[in-house]
Structures are given as structure tokens and as C-alpha cells.
Amino acid sequence: MINKTVKDALEAVADIPTGAFLMMGGFGLSGIPENCISALLQRDIKDLTIVSNNAGVDDFGIGLLLKKRMVKKMISSYVGENAEFERQLLQGELEVELIPQGTLAERVRAGGAGIPAFFTPAGVGTEVAEGKEIREFDGKHYLMETALKADFSIIKAWKGDTAGNLIFKGTARNFNPIMAAAGKICIAEVEELVEVGGLDPNQIHTPGIYVQRIFQGKDYEKRIEQRTVSN
Amino acid sequence: MINKTVKDALEAVADIPTGAFLMMGGFGLSGIPENCISALLQRDIKDLTIVSNNAGVDDFGIGLLLKKRMVKKMISSYVGENAEFERQLLQGELEVELIPQGTLAERVRAGGAGIPAFFTPAGVGTEVAEGKEIREFDGKHYLMETALKADFSIIKAWKGDTAGNLIFKGTARNFNPIMAAAGKICIAEVEELVEVGGLDPNQIHTPGIYVQRIFQGKDYEKRIEQRTVSN
Amino acid sequence: MLSKNQIAQRIAKEVKNGQYINLGIGIPTLVANYIPDNLEVVLQSENGLLGIGPFPKEENVDPDLINAGKQTITMLKGSVLFNSAESFAMIRGGHVHLTILGAMEVSENGDISNWKIPGKMVKGMGGAMDLVASAKNIIVAMQHCSKSGDSKLLPECTLPITGVRCVKKIVSDLAVLEVSPTGGFILKERAPGVSVEEIMAKTSGKLIIEGEVPEMVFD
Amino acid sequence: MLSKNQIAQRIAKEVKNGQYINLGIGIPTLVANYIPDNLEVVLQSENGLLGIGPFPKEENVDPDLINAGKQTITMLKGSVLFNSAESFAMIRGGHVHLTILGAMEVSENGDISNWKIPGKMVKGMGGAMDLVASAKNIIVAMQHCSKSGDSKLLPECTLPITGVRCVKKIVSDLAVLEVSPTGGFILKERAPGVSVEEIMAKTSGKLIIEGEVPEMVFD
């Protein structure tokens, strides 16, 4: 099997240039590539465009990249509660493109799957439809949406093997598998890196063909946004 | 959890009418719904349209339905070696629509996913493109293909639970998961039916939401088309 | 006037056995508490889970298991996990039977606005546009009027729209209303002690009253 | 003239370390036997497997584990299974680097015909149209001429086409040829003992000869 391992996060993100178009996995703060975000903070790059369902919080996740003014544009479905984000947006220092979550997921999936465009009902009759082709199928209206691809997709999995095969855990799966396939170079950080043969071929969520670099991350904080418990 | 179990194959296919539009999982003879095919043979119905990657062999799989003259039309990517199939086709007793395998898979996936149409490069410049819209994206030409949905999708899995969650085995997975989602009613036969809680939520290939009926099949023959061994 | 919990309780009566349901943030989330035990339904979380369980005990909190509102949750027997594309395939493909969500405005032809207020920071539509464009049945849970007293049931939405002609039913603190296929809010039930006149006064869209309007019954 | 195995052996020299490869039925399948041990490559089977292993021993035959030619196979350490939509997502998305397949005809602009002969029973294109429309690099393995002696390297395909302008290289029993981006077959190598004149005579499409044409070297 092809070996995709790199030493660590710093090596994995070493060639990401200023102005790169990135995808980052995660939903809220769950399943985000914590190690790669830390490594990016050590790079002297800026003007990044980041496709990510959310934009982190002020002091964690993508929020850290925003705070360091490394981000030119966010492409997200919900940017949540983030004071610095709001400040930059209102000052015109940051661009934001908001996309319905299902359309975002499908555009990313299409990017990885070689489908340049598809039709979806989400957003018909709304401002999301502005400038887009509308077409009727079986009496219902749909928008044409195009594929999203990235220079680098940066994702986080639970377990991975050296061939890049990945297994996710719980709802930390979210956008990670589809982003893996949509990046020209996919960087995967995993909690546990095993030798090939250490994962059941029938239980792998992301085939290694989509992953170009993999390493075992460390010191995962896994911050919780809404700690809700029952009595 | 919602209980989807039915007694057996006969009950599962009892309401499939003459003229129904069906999908059937499997690649070659691997992962085909053997029990449901046997049950259909006991039904007095005909004029079925069947979407299936292949059409079985003379005396097994969909070939049995063909032999009993229950099939009006096959929608497949490769119809293989089947003398009765060839005879019916040449006699004009059977219609065949041939679709590139990846386009077939994606049309079925789109049917389940609420995507009415998408663009693919497969078939551009060939007779598959006849009558279809061609559009250029990034300098490359693509065909518009539409979604496929079925009245009933009939699939075979390895393990399932009473809520309809399914796990497949080996390359017997093939078209089964995507057809599950593309049938208005999905009938799943499984080698082993377990109670809810008996499958790891993180290892399920087909979520039960797509499955309306499930039962434990029996007497699987699992015929091999090309038994190739190494010395 | 109904409390938020009573709105949720009333909506729970709309739930049918065997349904897959997506609950939005806020009042819709409360609906889960009122679904009768004899109904088997499955709650979908668009971040990738079918079969949302109750909130975890403190010792079972798992940061890798959250709902679409980013709250920590648990799974049930028979739950299943999947990625975001699969999740919206389920929603868009019509496999989720019922979506219950909040709204800022609903128009008399079933348009809904719930994602953007001009002049305020826009946080995004999340999965709302996909849900309202796709679900077979969409029920809105909301207050009948805004905090400033303006009706939220309008001839036309004034705020940017989330989806067109999609809302089937509204349960507000004052009433249960169906959206007529030909336009207008059909008044089906009154909250206990609320008069038809009050509902008429607080509904600026076309209100359709067909005969006697019963009071809601709570078990 | 090369044997089928020699054609496969020559094609194996085109394989690069780290590639994901789809091998068609026939001669392409034989290529797997000649890939040098020092190269790490992964073979994709479009029915849902990355990492095709050797044929099984009799006692390990598993009907649930076949390749796209319906032959029983095995998996390797690091293999992974997936469904048909995912498989063609890989192919269509350009993740499979190299496709090697047979052909009935190839035209001088890289069109390929390999699925249908008018008047004969059509079995279907299987995954061939997806593969040729998508792979970054497509190498054709075939006999230079048909059984009746007609050249299979033509100005234009006469049979129904499988894909347009997609073939990058041809390894036949007589020669290695590249398809020029501007049209024409560039003769790169001759089979041992085969003259340029013979190849010229048996190539009906435009043949481009740039300087001395070396004989193939086999290790």
C-alpha cells in the first residue's frame, strides 16, 4: 500500500501558500483539525479562503485563524457566535459567502465525485437563487449549483492507517469524508494512526485514495460548545 | 426504533404489481436478493421494468425472471452472457436500456438524494449522449443525466437490524446501498437479522430510514460466475 | 396563551407513528419531550445522526456526539451515524417525513422567513433552506406576534425568505392554523381562553374561519 | 511481435509509484503480474474495492469478493470496500490516475471504440465510458490489427465510440505509440524484430515518426 504518512502537522501544512483555497472539516467545534489549525497559526500566510460549515469561536478552531487575520473569505452555512468574526465582517475586512448546509455538503461531495453541477430545491425563491439557473423537473423548481474543490482539504478522523484509510467517530464525521475527496491535496490528522491491515476494510469511511498526507495528532482539546446534561 | 420486519420474502413482495418499476441490487451474481427473486417467481405478475447493473445468468438471479417472461425492460450497464436474454431481445420481446455503469450508479444515488439531475462526462461524444443536454464547465463537456427512482428497490445485505439498518459484506455491497435510498419502498433481505442495538451505529452502511421492509433470508446459494483460484 | 412548552406539547400531537423527524432549535427541540411513548419515531440531526437520545449524564458527555444545535447528546439502540452529504440526501430525498422549525414570519401562501434580518449580523441559514425545500410536512412553532406586537402571520413575508410555499401548519401561542393550498391561514384551534376575535386582530394575513373553532385540548 | 503477456509487461513499465490504477478485462488484467515489487500501487475494481489482491486459494474462495470481471479475488492489507456510487465518484473525480483497457479501434485523435459492434448482440458498456471520460491517463492494450488483418489504429473510429480524445498511449503487439495532442500516432518504440515499415503498413491512421525508433527493451 502507498504510504501517506508525514511527520506532524507542521510538515503537513508546510506548503500551503498565501491565498490558498482550503476546506476544513468539522461541525461546530466537533471533528475539527485542531493540530493543523495550530500549525497554520505558525505559518506566515494570509488571504486564505476557507470552506467550513462553521467558523469556530473566538478563541478556538477557525476563530484562531480569523483572529490572526489569515482569512480573506469564509464559505459557510452558519457562522455562529464569534465577536471577532462579526467585527471583521462589519469592517469589511472579511468576506463571507453563506450557503445552505445541504447545498454546501452536496457541492463538496460533487467536487470530489467529478460532478461539475447538479440541481437542488434548496434556496428556490430566496436570495440564494439570485443569478442561478432555475429549472423545473416534475413540476418542482430547482437551482443549479456547481461543485466546490479545494487546493487543500484539512480534515480530522478518529483512526487512520498509513495508506490514508479513515474511520470517524460519532457526529465528528460530518463534512470530513466529503472534504477529503474534494481537496487536490487532502491532509488528514487522526487520533490514532495504525499500520495497514489494522482497520477492517468493510468499516472504513474514507478510502485512502482521497488522502495524500496523514499523521497522528496530539493534545486534542475537543472543546464543547453547548455542554447539556440530563439529571 | 421503528420496526420494519416482515415475515418472509413472500410477504415482502406481495404487493408488487404488474408493470412495477423495480431496482435490484447486485453486481453480477454477487449481492443479489436471492430470496426476493424466488418469491417474485411465485407471483403472477409481468411487464416489470428492472434497474440492475446486470441481468443474471440463464438459470440464476434475474435470469429466472426473464425466463418466466416477467420482465418488459432491463436498465443495466452490462447484460453479460445470457442466452434467453439474447433470444428475447432479438425477438423484440424485451427492451434494454444500456447506461454507463457510473452514470447508472450516480442516477440511482441522485434518485435517493433528491437531486433531480446532474452533469457527468461519461458518454460525451457517444450515442449515449443522443438527445441529452451537453454543457461545458471549465472547458470540458458534460451530459445532463436525470435521477432514477423505483416503486420498489429490492436489495440484499449481510446483517440488518429490525429498524432497517444494514451492513454489507465484501464487494456484495455494490449497488445495494444506493438502491435502498432510491426506492419508494425498499425491501431488504439479510443473511442475519438482529435486534436494534446489535449493530455498531458507526459501522452501518445503509441507515434504516431508507428501508421499509426487512427479513432474514435463507438458503443462500451465492453462485460464483468466474471461480478463479491461484495455485 | 400557550407557553413554549405547551406549543411543543400541541405540536407533538401532529406526530405519527413511524415518522422520521427533524426538530429545529428552540421550541421544536422541546417537542421531543411530549411525543407519546407508544409512538415509534426517530429524530434526525442534520450533522449526521438518526436516533437522537436524551442529553447525557455528566459522566457520559462526549464531545464527538452533538446535535445540530451543538448540544451534547446520546444515541439510542438502533441509532446510526453518517456524513453531512448523506444527511442532506435523506432530507432532500424526502426520507425525513416531518420538519418542525421556528420562524420569524410566515406568509399566507406558506412562505417562511427565519434566517436573516436586514441590518443585523447574519449568522447563516444552516440547514433551514434545505429542510423547508424538501420535507413533505413542515410545521412552524412560533409566537403569533413579535415582541413589538406585530403579527408574524402576514400576507407576504417582509424579511428575506427561507423557502416558498412550504409551511403546512403553524402552532403559535394563540392558535393552530393550516396554510390553505389556495392561500390563507385556516384557523383550526384556539388556545384555551383565546377568542377568535383576538386571533383575527393579531393575524395580518388572510384568516379563514370555517364554522366553530374549537379550543385546543391538552391531555 | 509481442505476446499478450509481453504487451502487459511493456505496459507495466508505464506504471509509476503511488498510482491508483483501474485495469480492464483481458490483457490489462495481466499487467498486474508485471508491476515491479518496488512500486507501491493500488488496483481499483469498479464494483467496489481498492486494493485487489491475487486470486484466492481454493479454500478461501468467497462469493462476496469478486472483481469487475466477476472473478473471485482476495484483499490486501489496507484494502477498502465501498459502494458503486463511491467507486465511480473516485473514477469520475480523477482520483484514479491510470486506466488500462482494451479497444477494438483507436482513432488518431484519441477516440476509442470498445463496446459495440453493429449487428452483434450488445452486452453493454459497463464502466468503460465512465473510465475513459475521467481518467487522467488512459493506455490502450490491444492487437495492432484485427483478426482479418485490418488496422485498429484509424483516422476515425468506424465503430460506435466509447469516449472521445481520451487515449494517451497504445501498446500493441507491434509498437508503443503516443496519441499526439494535435492528432496522429507518434511511434515511440518497435516490438523486437518489427520494422518501422511494417508498422507503417499496418497503421491506417496518421503515423508520426520522429527520428530513430528504438526497439522495446524488456528486462
Pick from D18, D41, D89: CB nearest A113: D89
Would you call A148 an interface residue with chain B, using a CB distance cutoff of 8 Å?
no
H or E element at residue D21: strand D20-23
Q: Using beta carbons and an 8 Å cutoff, which residues of B are at the interface with C?
A: 1-3, 109, 111-115, 161-163, 165, 181, 195-197, 201-202, 204, 207-210
Are the C-beta atoms of D85 and C86 separated by less than 8 Å?
no
Neighbours of chain B (3+ CB pairs under 8 A): A, C, D
Q: Which residues in chain A have Cβ-Cβ distances shorter than 8 Å to D81? A: 201-202, 204
Q: Which residues in chain B have Cβ-Cβ distances shorter than 8 Å to C97? A: none
Catalytic residue numbers of D, as ranges: 46
Active site residue: C14, C46, C59, C105, which one? Answer: C46
For residues D182-190, give the mean pLDDT.
97
Distance CA C99, CA C6 (A): 18
Q: Which amino acid is at A197?
A: G
pTM over 0.95? The answer is yes
Per-residue pLDDT band at A1 (split at 50, 70, 90): confident
DSSP state of D124: -
Q: Please report the beta strands in chain B, taking only residues with DSSP state E, as ranges in sequence order.
A: 21-24, 48-51, 71-76, 95-98, 117-120, 134-137, 140-146, 150-161, 166-167, 183-194, 213-216
Q: Which amino acid is at A69?
A: R
Distance CA B164, CA D19 (A): 38
| Parts of chain C with a pLDDT under 50 | none
Quote the pLDDT of residue D46.
96
Looking at the complex, report in whole angstroms how far the Cα of residue D144 sits from the nearest Cα belonging to chain A: 33
Distance CA B190, CA B197 (A): 16
Residue with cell 452514470: B103
For residues A156-167, give the mean pLDDT.
98
Quote the pLDDT of residue A151.
98
Sheet bearing C207-208, strands edge to edge: C75-81, C49-52, C42-45, C20-23, C98-101, C137-141, C169-171, C175-179, C185-190, C207-208
For residues A111-129, give the mean pLDDT.
98
Are the C-beta atoms of B55 and B79 separated by less than 8 Å?
yes
Determine what percent of chain A is predicted with pLDDT higher than 70. 100
Quote the pLDDT of residue B80.
79
Q: Which amino acid is at B151?
A: D
What's the first-to-final CA gap in chain B, in angstroms?
A: 49
Kindly tell me if the per-residue pLDDT of A231 is higher than 80. Answer: no
Asked if the Cβ–Cβ distance from A126 to C129 is below 8 Å, we say yes
Are the C-beta atoms of D193 and D175 separated by less than 8 Å?
no
Pick from C68, C84, C164: CB nearest A125: C164
Find the helix packing angle between A101-113 and D84-92, rounded to 10°: 70
Q: Which residues in chain A have Cβ-Cβ distances shorter than 8 Å to D17? A: 2
Quote the pLDDT of residue B157.
98
Asked if the Cβ–Cβ distance from B181 to C95 is below 8 Å, we say yes
Kindly tell me if the per-residue pLDDT of D191 is higher than 90. Answer: yes
Distances (CA, A) of B56 to A138, A148, B76, B139: 32, 39, 11, 40
Pick from D45, D69, D111: CB nearest B226: D69
Quote the pLDDT of residue D119.
85
Average pLDDT, chain A: 97
Are the C-beta atoms of D87 and D48 separated by less than 8 Å?
yes
Residue with cell 410536512: C137
Q: Which residues in chain B have Cβ-Cβ distances shorter than 8 Å to D63? A: 29-30, 172, 222-224
Kindly tell me if the per-residue pLDDT of D80 is higher than 80. Answer: yes
Interface A–C counts its CB contacts (< 8 A) at 172
| Contacts for D192 with CB less than 8 Å, ≥ 6 apart | D215, D216, D218
DSSP state of D188: E
C18-43 b/e with 16+ CB inside 10 Å = b? ebbbbbbeebbbbbbebbeeeeebbb
Quote the pLDDT of residue C160.
97
Pick from A117, A119, A168: CB nearest B116: A119
Distance CA C151, CA C204 (A): 6
Q: Pick the closest to residue B88 from B100, B71, B103 (CA basis).
A: B71
Task: Give the pLDDT of chain B (231 residues) as one tens digit per residue.
Answer: 899 999 999 999 999 999 999 999 999 999 999 999 999 999 999 999 999 999 999 999 999 999 999 999 999 999 977 888 889 988 999 999 999 999 999 999 999 999 999 999 999 999 999 999 999 999 999 999 999 999 999 999 999 999 999 999 999 999 999 999 999 999 999 999 999 999 999 999 999 999 999 999 999 999 999 999 997
Kindly tell me if the per-residue pLDDT of D219 is higher than 80. Answer: no
Quote the pLDDT of residue A223.
96
Distances (CA, A) of D67 to A135, B78, D18, D47, D139: 39, 14, 21, 7, 20
Quote the pLDDT of residue C121.
85
Kindly tell me if the per-residue pLDDT of A81 is higher than 80. Answer: no
Q: Which amino acid is at B54?
A: N
Quote the pLDDT of residue C44.
97
Distance CA A165, CA A163 (A): 6
For residue B5 the three cell numbers come to: 420486519
Quote the pLDDT of residue C136.
86
| Chain D, nearest residue to A186 by Cα | D95
pLDDT digits (tens, 9 = 90+) for A31-68: 999 999 999 999 999 999 999 999 999 999 999 999 99
Average pLDDT, chain D: 96
For residue C197 the three cell numbers come to: 376575535
Asked if the Cβ–Cβ distance from B1 to C76 is below 8 Å, we say yes
Asked if the Cβ–Cβ distance from B207 to C80 is below 8 Å, we say yes
Distance CA D141, CA A72 (A): 49
Distance CA D49, CA A208 (A): 11
Asked if the Cβ–Cβ distance from D62 to B158 is below 8 Å, we say no
Q: Using beta carbons and an 8 Å cutoff, which residues of C are at the interface with B?
A: 17-18, 20, 40-42, 44, 50-51, 75-82, 86, 88-96, 134
Sheet bearing D137-142, strands edge to edge: D75-81, D49-52, D42-45, D20-23, D98-101, D137-142, D169-172, D175-179, D185-190, D207-208
Neighbours of chain D (3+ CB pairs under 8 A): A, B
Quote the pLDDT of residue B81.
76
Are the C-beta atoms of C46 and C91 separated by less than 8 Å?
yes
Q: Using beta carbons and an 8 Å cutoff, which residues of D are at the interface with A?
A: 17-18, 20, 40-42, 44, 50-51, 75-82, 86, 88-96, 134
Task: Name all domains of chain C by residue range, CATH numbers in brackets.
Answer: 4-208 (3.40.1080.10)
Neighbours of chain C (3+ CB pairs under 8 A): A, B
For residues A115-144, give the mean pLDDT.
98
